[in-house]
Structure 1
Amino acid sequence: MSVFCVGFARRGFLAATGMFVFGLVLSRLFIALSQAQERVNLTLVSYAVTRAAYDNIIPKFAAQWEAETGQRVFIEASYAGSATQSRAVIDGLDADVVALAMALDIYRIQEANLIQPGWEDRAPNGGILTRSVAVIVTREGNPKGIQDWDDLAEEGINVVTANPKTSGGARWNFLSLWGHKTLVQEATDDEALEFTTQVYQNAGVLSRDAREATDVFFQKGQGDALITYEHEVLLANRRGKNLPYVLPSSSISIENPVAVVDEIVDRKGTREVAEAFVAFLFTPEAQREFAAVGFRPVNKEVAAEFADQYPTLDNLFTVEDLGGWDAVQQQFFDDGAIFDDIQAQL
């Protein structure tokens, strides 16, 4: 009888213990599910020089989203060259939002069926988040007297720039030179080819990307002029470098787009918060952060606030003025296109 009672009690104890453990597991599972509903994770993929702006923008959006919805959002940001980031997303990087240096890099993601056509119409301002222009950095005191693009073709001027065949951003440089001749000075294509060829002959060895070109100019001390972007110079100057530069009479409008990656957000269930984040990037609060680190804001209110810091160029043209990205790629940068002809003469 005593053995039976002990056995029964033991079984009762084990059963009670099992129920307790089972209840604990359910409780923890419920908490985990509840926490999962209360938070969402996004991945932002952008290019390197935007980090300073997003470091301030992301916390502001997270605070606003939580105040409005009660849901915490955590945004992990990845920064690298724009073309590199485009390839990374195509190769499997789970980006909810891509903010890249040029529309061409987003079109490549679209061609991989990760972004649906018409992304430009699903964001404010045709998907263009910020703008910049091409500028010419000189040596202190500008000893060669460089004032405009035409000066870069003069004999004895050593130019530093990246190779547009290997650097997406360097294509803005090339297009600024070409458009300066054909659109502003109304030169023929043959005259534009002669001019751009001379500039690249003055450049000699071309850097692989904009970052390497900057290192060649400043760290190695090579060259009389560096073709780069206004936002790069302004950000450096805000950090105390005081780079001398010339704002040329004309430039292509460097337009930096943003898009939601449809395939990723639909799979992850993050479309709502991803689209809200993109919309937030166009608000005055976010646009001021971009303007503070050197980008020309697209929000009219903020553009007016920063008008003194971003002088208006006499002649500003766009990729569309040159035929659009498809035509530009085919005419200038595809294998066997114009830039290959230029390289063959270097």
Structure 2
Amino acid sequence: MKRLLSVAAVLALLSGGAQAQTVELLNVSYDIARELFAQINPVFAADYKAKTGQTIEIKQSHAGTSRQARSILEGLQADVVTFNQVLDVQILHDRGKLVAADWQKRFPNNASPYYSLPAFLVRKGNPKNVKDWSDLVRKDVQSVFPNPKTSGNARYTYLAAYAFALEQNKGDVAKANAFVKTLLGNVPVFDTGGRGSTTTFVDREIGDVLITFEAETNGIKREYGDKGFELVTPSVSLLAEFPVAVVDKVAERKGTQAVAKAYLDFLYSEAGQEILAQNYNRVHHPKVLEKYKAQFPALRLVTIEAVFGGWEQANKVHFAEGGILDQVFVNR
């Protein structure tokens, strides 16, 4: 009997140890989201442990989202993705069936818990008097943003500029092409991701205006207050959604589906939206939106769907091999 009790006790201890084992979750994200998820992750982990008793360790991977998507297709074991471009999530389904076909319907707002837009950051006093997209094609203005071939951030910049040019030229595609060609020609260096471009502008002091997500421009201004950077919100910009998804094929194999879903659900919670808004991301939660509305300038936002017919069409026309980007991206 004692032997039986001893075996039972050992099994109970083993069971308890298994339950207490830390679960690791890998969130593969975009280049400039390091500080954001460094704040989100411990709050989620504490909340999840309080609710379930389970200890979670969240690991991060950051780079340009197109590069990140390729890495996942090549074997990077992401449980979830928190990207800044729909195409880079969709390709995980199209080429590897790694995410569900209906991934955009699995979470609210087309699986985008927050959003932003391309905006400008200029040097103290705005010496080049940059006010709108039209100023970025002047010969005396150098813009800094990443390579649209590797960065979702930069694709939003490219499409926002293209949308502006189409509107200014009453839909004339040839003039819009010429506009973005000049804009690209005024970029002194193309980094692969948004964080690299921030370093180029801030630390290397190259360029007159940094074009990146509004959240990033605010964060840089806050972090480098001694440099006197100034924010410029253009007259019109492009809605930049930040899509999220569980990488089902990986999560199913690792047994992390429930934790992965809970992690992404947390981004929609009041606590998650609070952290997002504190970092200058525009959010959907009514209470949080009301609390932070003063920090978000009003402007007109156009959408990928309205101007370009959706991401699939935008990719075909602009970003696919031989598309408009290739045609105007001369000697790059």
Q: Compute the TM-score of the two structures, normalised by the length of structure 2.
A: 0.89
- After TM superposition, the structure 1 stretch with the greater mean CA deviation from structure 2, 119-128 or 203-212, is 203-212
Q: Distance in 1 between matches of 2:55 and 2:42?
A: 11
Deviation of the 1:326 alpha carbon: 1.3
1:96 matched to 2:82? no
Of the candidates 293, 299, 302, which is equivalent to residue 317 of structure 1? 302
Q: Contact 1:51–1:79 at 8 Å: present in 2 too?
A: yes
Residue equivalent to 1:51 = 34
SS in structure 2 at match of 1:85: helix
Q: Deviations over 1:302-329 (max 9, x none)?
A: 122111111121x201222211111111
Structure 1 segment 1-346 matched on structure 2, within 5 A: 30-39=12-21, 40-111=23-94, 112-183=96-167, 186-241=170-225, 242-313=228-299, 315-321=300-306, 322-344=308-330
Deviation of the 1:233 alpha carbon: 1.5
Q: Distance in 2 between matches of 1:30 and 1:93?
A: 35
Q: Deviations over 1:276-315 (max 9, x none)?
A: 22111101111110111121122232122111111121x2
Alpha-carbon spacing, 1:293–1:259, altered in 2? closer, same or farther (3 Å):
same
Q: Distance in 2 between matches of 1:238 and 1:203?
A: 25
Q: Distance in 1 between matches of 2:309 and 2:54?
A: 44
Deviation of the 1:33 alpha carbon: 3.1
Code of the aligned partner of 1:311: P
Q: Distance in 2 between matches of 1:173 and 1:147?
A: 15
SS in structure 2 at match of 1:42: strand
Q: Contact 1:41–1:73 at 8 Å: present in 2 too?
A: yes
How many residues matched? 326
Code of the aligned partner of 1:277: Y
Alpha-carbon spacing, 1:225–1:62, altered in 2? closer, same or farther (3 Å):
closer
Q: Contact 1:124–1:279 at 8 Å: present in 2 too?
A: no
Code of the aligned partner of 1:244: E
SS in structure 1 at match of 2:62: strand
Q: Compute the TM-score of the two structures, normalised by the length of structure 1.
A: 0.86
Gaps (5+ residues) in structure 2? none
Identity in percent = 34
Segments of 4+ moved more than 6 angstroms: none
Q: Which one has the largest radius of gyration?
A: 1
Code of the aligned partner of 1:271: Q
- After TM superposition, the structure 1 stretch with the greater mean CA deviation from structure 2, 207-216 or 327-336, is 207-216
- After TM superposition, the structure 1 stretch with the greater mean CA deviation from structure 2, 249-258 or 181-190, is 181-190
Code of the aligned partner of 2:19: Q
Code of the aligned partner of 1:36: A
Alpha-carbon spacing, 1:29–1:85, altered in 2? closer, same or farther (3 Å):
farther
Deviation of the 1:43 alpha carbon: 2.2
Q: Distance in 1 between matches of 2:195 and 2:33?
A: 14
Q: Distance in 2 between matches of 1:145 and 1:339?
A: 28
Q: Contact 2:119–2:212 at 8 Å: present in 1 too?
A: yes
Q: Contact 1:184–1:250 at 8 Å: present in 2 too?
A: no
Alpha-carbon spacing, 1:67–1:227, altered in 2? closer, same or farther (3 Å):
closer
Q: Distance in 2 between matches of 1:59 and 1:159?
A: 36
Q: Superposition RMSD on alpha carbons, in Å?
A: 2.5
Q: Contact 2:64–2:194 at 8 Å: present in 1 too?
A: no
Alpha-carbon spacing, 1:345–1:326, altered in 2? closer, same or farther (3 Å):
same
SS in structure 2 at match of 1:344: coil
Q: Distance in 2 between matches of 1:272 and 1:207?
A: 36
Deviation of the 1:184 alpha carbon: 6.5
SS in structure 1 at match of 2:186: helix
Alpha-carbon spacing, 1:279–1:183, altered in 2? closer, same or farther (3 Å):
farther
Q: Distance in 1 between matches of 2:47 and 2:197?
A: 39
Deviation of the 1:53 alpha carbon: 2.8
SS in structure 2 at match of 1:274: helix
